[in-house]
Structure 1
């Protein structure tokens, strides 16, 4: 999903600023994502949305796989709907590693505050489960849209 989100943000460069804070958090939690996100920030002022793949590939960022069907990567979709789907994808991409890092920190402090740590772990695990369910639902929507597109073709 990271590759698709990077390509989506390259296609809709005006969305980079909208998601800058979330992307910064992701870069802090995911060392593999950090260089890609940093290059997005560097390119935010100069990206050309009409030549996303050429710019993306030219800057060393991977082009999205051809078989991924996200509205924000499909030229024929409504830009407003595509940007909303992109926002959901960014949210899902960012929330999980942040929750996992918070959970790890809470587990690490268990010895000094067992009761507080346990309560916080329970809350974080519930949030992590909710993000996992959103991620599954997002994947199911993509699969059902892909099936509908294949059936109509």
Structure 2
């Protein structure tokens, strides 16, 4: 049986593929942090080291991050669902109570994130109703060991123990 790829069906079917959850952060020229949540993060190239994520064209946070010329990808831990929901909100003060420190390039690194990847904005391409934002990696590290926050079938979840 073939199903038409209307937006609702497309989202429902692709929701069967679990994704990790990342917070993309940047520091604006006025010293205000900007953040958005994405489930579409990937490595692109080893030489040079490039990563990508796919912001929605309707995002109110993406223009703020794009204008910064760089960003930090924060891989969220499985105990950071509340933080994820906070940073996904439209609240202009959503970052005010978020514990973080700054990378050497000035982007917010979230305390408690599993890992962080500090990037300059390398390129942006249009792709349907989204953009492909490519970042050149300048610094990265594991913040602490643990398991990632996952998104699957419209809900947040955790990796089940493989042992």
> Is the TM-score greater than 0.5?
no
More strand per residue: 1 or 2? 2
TM-score (normalised: structure 2): 0.23
TM-score (normalised: structure 1): 0.24
More helix per residue: 1 or 2? 1
